[in-house]
Structure 1
C-alpha cells in the first residue's frame, strides 16, 4: 500500500527563518479520541515566533509549528464528526507538544475542534479562531468590560488589537488604541477606534488628557516594557489585563508589588484554549462578516512555500493585521 504524503513546514531547531523547511511527510493517523483535519489555511501567531526563536518551553524538535488551523474533517475514528465538516482548531499543545497546523493535514484531540458553517474564503476563516478567542476572553474573563466604559489597547495595530477594538466597540465601550507609527493612526480611526494614540512610551499622559481620572480598563499586548505606563493610565479600581507580548519580553525582574502597582489598580492576565471560544461566538462573528456588519480587519495571505517570508514579516512587524498561509 502506498503511503499518503503531505507537505508540511518543519522547524528543525530554534533560530532564524532558515530553520523552517517545507518537506514531504506521511499523512498522520488519528489516535482514539483524535481527529484528522485537512488544513485549508492557518493563521500565524506570536506564539510560533517565540517557539522559532527558542523562547518557548517544553518543545522538542523537529516540530511542525502552528497553534491553529481551519479546514475540514478528513477522519474521525469515533464517527462523531462527519467527513467534510468545516472546523477550527487551536491550542492544546499544537505546534509544541505535538505537530500543529503548518501542514496540509493535522491530527488534534477531538475536544479542541469547533465546527462551524460559512461560505467565507478559507483565508478569512483562518484569520479568526485564535485571535477571536483571545480577544473575546480578554474582554470578558480578563476585564469584564461593560457598556459605557473606556478601554485602552496597548499594541492596537496587531491582529489581536484590531479584533479587540471591534469587540469592545460592539460592547458599547469607548476605545483608545496605540501605535508607534504615526502613519498608522488613520488606519486605526478607519477601523473604528475612537481615540488613536501615537505611542512614544508615555501613553499615560495622552490617555489622561481624554480621561483625566484614567481609563476603566486596559489591554496590554506589548508586554512588560510598557506595562508600568499602562498601569499608570488606568483609573483607581480599573483593571489591566496582560494578554500579549509583542515585545517578546515576558517577565518583570525584581517585582515588588507595592512599588510596581499604582494604588487601587488591578492587574490580571488572560490566556485561553479552544474551549474558551464558544461555538456560537465564532459562528456569530462569521455571520456578521459575511453580512457586512463587521470587518475581519487587514489580511495578508502567503502560499506555503513563502513561510519564511511570512515569518520574517511577522518578526519585524512589517504588516498590519493578521498573516495567513494558504495550504
Structure 2
C-alpha cells in the first residue's frame, strides 16, 4: 500500500463546510463544523483555496438533481487549492497547487464548499502559477468544458469560423477567448444588444443578437455557413444552429442554458445534409495538466481573458453567490475565496 504524505503534519480534526441537509432555498445552505474527510487510498486530500459556483450546485440545493445526489451533502463540483495528503506514488507532493472538478464531486461524494475535500487522484490537475486564487478558482469546470468542446468536440483550427450559441455564458465567454487564441474568427450570440461590448472584449469579432432565429443573420456573415458551431442554449435552438453550419462543418451540443435536453420526435433528417452533429460532456481528464498550465500562462500574458463576475470572501457568502448565479444578471463566473 502507498504511504501517505501530508502538508506540514496532521490536518485538523474538524473543518468548516457548507452543508445541504435538505432541498430548499438559499437558507438550506448551512455552515457547519464537520470532520475533515479521511483520505482513501488512491484519493487526494486538498486544502481548498477557492471554488467556482455553478448552476448545477443550485440544482443540487433545490433537490432537482438526479438520483446520484443524496443528503446531507457538501456541494461543489470544482475547486482549487493545495495538496494536503496523497499517496506517495501519485506524483503529487504536499503543498502543490492543484485543481479538481466533476467526476461525482459535490454529488455522489462531498465537494469543494469546504476547507478540505477528498477526490480521486485521476481528477486532480497539478499546476504552478503566481495568479491569484480568485482567478484560478474560476477556471477548472469553465475552461475544461470550453477546451473540450473546441478540441474534442469541434476540432477547431486556425482560420476557421466558429459560432457560439449562448455566448454570454461562462463557457461561451471562455470558448471565445480560447478560439481567438487558436486563430479562429468568432461569431457569438447574446439575447441583449447591450452585452455586445462584453463579447468583443473576450475576442468575439461579430456579436449577434439572438431572437430565436439567427440562421439568416449568420449566413449574412458567413454565406456558406460557419465551419463550427458550439451549442450552449439547448435542443430548442439546435435545429436553427444546424442551419448556420456549412456542408461538412460540425455542430457540437454541449449545454442547455434554456433547458431542452431532448428533441421530441427526433429524426436524423432534421440534420441538414452534409452537416455533422456531435456532443461533448467531459471530465477532468479531458483537460491535460500541460494544457491547463498553458492556459494559465496565457492568462498571465494577457492572451486569454477570465470572465469573473464577482468574488465572494468566505463560506458565509456562498448563499449570496448562489443567489446571484440564479439571477443571471451578471455574466461571468462567481468565485468564492476562502480565508487562509
- TM-score, normalised relative to structure 2: 0.91
Q: Does 162-171 or 74-83 show the bigger shift?
A: 74-83
SS in 2 for 1:301: strand
Query: Is the alpha carbon distance of 1:57 and 1:150 closer, same or farther for their aligned partners in structure 2, counting shifts above 3 Å?
Result: farther
Query: Alpha-carbon deviation of 1:79?
Result: 5.9
Q: Does 1:82 align with 2:93?
A: yes
Q: Does 1:232 align with 2:224?
A: no
What's the CA shift string for 1:57-110, capped at 9, x where partnerless?
A: 411111111111000011124364221111101111101110011111000111
Match of 1:60 in 2: 70
- Residue of 16, 21, 24 corresponding to 2:25: 16
Match of 1:182 in 2: 193
**Are 2:145 and 2:171, in contact at CA under 8 Å, matched by a contact in 1?**
yes
Match of 2:165 in 1: 154
SS in 2 for 1:139: helix
Show structure 1 runs of 5+ residues with no match.
none
Q: Does 1:214 align with 2:215?
A: no
Match of 2:130 in 1: 119
- Residue of 139, 149, 165 corresponding to 1:138: 149
Q: Distance in 2 between matches of 1:297 and 1:265?
A: 31
Q: Does 1:196 align with 2:207?
A: yes
Q: Distance in 2 between matches of 1:196 and 1:248?
A: 23
Match of 1:46 in 2: 55
- Residue of 60, 70, 80 corresponding to 1:70: 80
Match of 2:14 in 1: 5
Match of 1:282 in 2: 292
**Are 2:224 and 2:246, in contact at CA under 8 Å, matched by a contact in 1?**
yes
- Residue of 230, 250, 273 corresponding to 2:283: 273
Query: Alpha-carbon deviation of 1:168?
Result: 0.9
Query: Is the alpha carbon distance of 1:194 and 1:62 closer, same or farther for their aligned partners in structure 2, counting shifts above 3 Å?
Result: same
Q: Distance in 2 between matches of 1:16 and 1:133?
A: 29
What's the CA shift string for 1:5-52, capped at 9, x where partnerless?
A: 211111223333232222211111101111110000001223223333
Query: Is the alpha carbon distance of 1:188 and 1:208 closer, same or farther for their aligned partners in structure 2, counting shifts above 3 Å?
Result: same
SS in 2 for 1:207: helix
Q: Does 1:33 align with 2:14?
A: no
SS in 2 for 1:302: strand
Alignment length, in residue pairs?
A: 326
- Residue of 253, 257, 260 corresponding to 1:249: 260
Match of 1:105 in 2: 116
**Are 1:50 and 1:56, in contact at CA under 8 Å, matched by a contact in 2?**
no
Q: Does 1:319 align with 2:319?
A: no
Query: Is the alpha carbon distance of 1:297 and 1:2 closer, same or farther for their aligned partners in structure 2, counting shifts above 3 Å?
Result: closer
Match of 2:180 in 1: 169
Query: Alpha-carbon deviation of 1:186?
Result: 1.1
Q: Distance in 2 between matches of 1:119 and 1:291?
A: 12
